[in-house]
Structure 1
Amino acid sequence: MVVGHLYFYLFLMAGSLIFFYFFPVGLWITARFSGVQVGLFELVFMRIRKVPPAVIVDGLIVATKAGLKLTLTEVETHYLAGGHVPSVIKALISADKANIGLSFKQATAIDLAGRDVFEAVQISVNPKVINTPSVAAVAMDGIQLIAQARVTVRANIQQLVGGAGEETILARVGEGIVTSIGSSESHKEVLANPDKISQLVLNRGLDAGTAFQILSIDIADVDVGENIGAKLQIDQANADLRVADAKAEEKRAMAVALEQEMKAKSEEARAKVILSEAEVPQALAFALRNGQLGVMDYYRMQNIKADTEMRASVAADDLLPSKKGD
């Protein structure tokens, strides 16, 4: 008997839990007293659609107390689409208090686009300062300057969907800084008037097509870097020197090759002379055998040859004293 009563109470408790889970009576009563018109069965259907009623009802209560007119269907549809209901409600309330035109459709579109709509409204009310990374640029005199800027932006609610983000702003500002420094004739001019950079960059309309409106660009710091012009000139001089050395080596190699070729030709000519001199005795012997040359003729030729050699020797000896005297 006791076991039966125990099972009865357990069944009653389980049934009560299931009932109050699908029929959130307490939440329905809270919504009614808060001025939110929602039916009990609508909350049941939310449970069936796997939508947490507390998130939807709490959001509607906050919106209603803030004076916003939202329907249960709109809020539930946004939740089913993957949106963040509390963030959208907070953004709508902040925009309404700040007199910023933001409709529920715009807020949900921004939220579904992956942006933090509440943060966007906050930036629209309180502008945000973005620090750019160090940007290096070279002036016309070849001196490198390293600049860092602070960009004050305000969120553009109308451009949050499809507009470019902070990365684009930073890239455009960096490009503008490089262009401004590069067009300066001297780095001293930039150091003396850094505000010219911000003015030139600001006048370029860098916030076009972005989710932000640029309010001001302030140059926070400008440092002098390397003398890029002198470094490039040194590199060019070294390159020219290497080219000149290569050309000189090429000419030297050609001269050596020509000298070797001339030596080879000289050796070839000497060899031909030696071969020709070697043929002389054979020619004399042939002439003697054939009677074309007599013995006396041969001796006279030998005498003439010896006399010529003697005269050359005497002439060489006569030249030696004069060389010593000199």
Structure 2
Amino acid sequence: MEGIGFIGMLAGIVVLFFLFLYYVPVMLWFSAIVSGVKISLVQLVLMRIRKVPPSIIVSALIEAHKADIKEVDAEQLETHFLAGGHVTSVVHALVSAAKANIDLSFQMATAIDLAGRDVFEAVQMSVNPKVIDTPPVAAVAKDGIQLIAKARVTVRASIKQLVGGAGEETVLARVGEGIVSSIGSSASHKAVLENPDSISKVVLEKGLDAGTAFEILSIDIADVDIGKNIGAVLQIDQAEADKNIAQAKAEERRAMAVAEEQEMKAKAQEARAKVIEAEAEVPLAMAESFRSGNLGIMDYYKMKNIEADTSMRDSISKSSPDKPKK
């Protein structure tokens, strides 16, 4: 029993020792003192209690001290960490900016970091410009020929514009718009192919980097290809549309003519029906005249003779005049 109690006590001492080392990082404090960073054990213990990793803060302080950056202290770094920032990235950015003679304060660096941008990458891009390839941009010259251009945009990060400035997407969109405008204002596609750097000059003069987080250093046209003959395509489409309109109008006129013909036939049939109806009433009228005594038998024969004579004259008039007489 005494052996078990001794082992339990020993285990408790070991656990307490490691808890002590966790909350009181003596070795970390000693490393800071050796590096010339003034920080107390109490500060490190309070960092543990506030759930701030002391190793990150101490490492950042040592890096800043070795780079002779005096505006950084433990309280500022701890505040930035609790705000959700990246302490290591901020200190790296401050050191790089100091070595490159770039004016970057701790407040500006933390603001850029909390804005969601990689401040260390921004400083690197400010020192080493970045090349952005634009997607193919299609535009049509005044002669109707389509050109497809690709450009390479060399940009440098603008530290002062990183907070609230537009990103790469805006720069690419503005460059694409400038290329379309430049090609569209060209009188001929041949002029663009002969002098593609004219596009770069026109686009650069527009000041496309205003309000962005970058400074455009150069715009180089990497490739220009000939696309479709848009003017000819439009003319073909217009001719096809005119032809369809003409066909539709002709079909409309034909339908109207057919309708008029049918209407005339209907009227002719109606007239013939009325004539037949009138002719059917003639015998009845003649019979009534015979009964009433208004028409005699001699009158009837005279009328028949007149009809026969009229019929003969009609047959003679319808005969051909070149036909020899027998």
Fold match by TM threshold 0.5: yes
User: 2:166 aligns to what SS in structure 1?
Assistant: coil
CA-based RMSD of the aligned residues comes to: 1.4
| Correspondence for 1:295 | 297
CA distance in 2, matches of 1:98, 1:275: 117
The Cα of 1:315 is off from its aligned counterpart by 4.9
The CA deviation at 1:320 is: 4.9
Query: Cα offset for 1:323?
Result: 5.2
Q: Could you tell me how far apart the structure 1 residues matched to 2:151 and 2:314 are?
A: 96
State the partner residue of 2:229. 227
Q: In the alignment, which residue of structure 1 is the partner of 2:51?
A: 50
Report how many residues are paired. 323
SS in 2 for 1:67: coil
Report whether the alignment pairs 1:31 with 2:44: no
| Superposed displacement of residue 300, structure 1 | 1.8
How far is the alpha carbon of 1:36 from its aligned partner?
A: 1.2
Q: Which residue of 2 aligns with 1:285?
A: 287
Partners of 2:60 and 2:173 in 1: CA distance:
39
- Report the counterpart of residue 245 of structure 2 in structure 1: 243
Q: Which of 145, 167, 170 is the equivalent residue of 1:143?
A: 145
Aligned to 1:22: 23
Shift of 1:291: 1.4
Deviations 1:193-232 (A, max 9, x none): 1010000000000000000000111111111111010011
Q: Counterpart in 2 of 1:10? A: 11
Work out which of the residue numbers 123, 126, 134 in structure 2 matches 1:124: 126
Partner SS for 1:322? coil
Residues in 2 aligned to 1:145 and 1:222: alpha-carbon distance in whole angstroms? 7
5+ long unaligned stretches in structure 2: none
Q: Deviations over 1:253-311 (max 9, x none)?
A: 11111111111111111111111111111111111111111122112212222233244
- State yes or no: 1:217 paired with 2:204: no
* 1:208 equivalent in structure 2: 210
Change in 2 beyond 3 A, CA 1:15/1:213: same
Amino acid at match of 1:322: D
Alignment-derived partner of residue 68 in structure 2: 67
Return structure 1 stretches of 4+ with deviation > 3 angstroms: 310-316
The alignment partner of 1:214 has SS state of strand
Q: Aligned runs of 1:54-133 on 2, under 5 Å?
A: 54-69=55-70, 70-133=72-135
- Tell me by how many angstroms 1:321 deviates: 7.8
Separation in 1, partners of 2:134, 2:15: 61
Q: How far, CA to CA, are the matches of 1:242 and 1:268 in structure 2?
A: 39
Q: Secondary structure at the match of 1:99?
A: coil
Deviations 1:71-107 (A, max 9, x none): 1110000000000111101000000000000000000
**Which residue matches 2:322?**
322
Give the TM-score, by structure 2 length: 0.96
Alignment map for 1:297-312 (pairs within 5 Å): 297-312=299-314
Distance 2:131 2:115 in 1: 23
3-state SS, counterpart of residue 322 of structure 2: helix
| Counterpart residue number, 1:152 | 154
Displacement of 1:2 after TM fit? Answer: 1.1
Give me the whole-angstrom Cα distance separating, in 2, the residues matched to 1:154 and 1:229.
40
> In structure 2, the residue corresponding to 1:161 is in which secondary structure?
coil
The match for 1:166 is 168
Question: Using the alignment, how far apart are the partners of 2:31 and 2:324 within structure 1?
Answer: 137
Counterparts of 2:316 and 2:207, CA distance in 1: 104
Distance 1:324 1:182, change over 3 A: farther
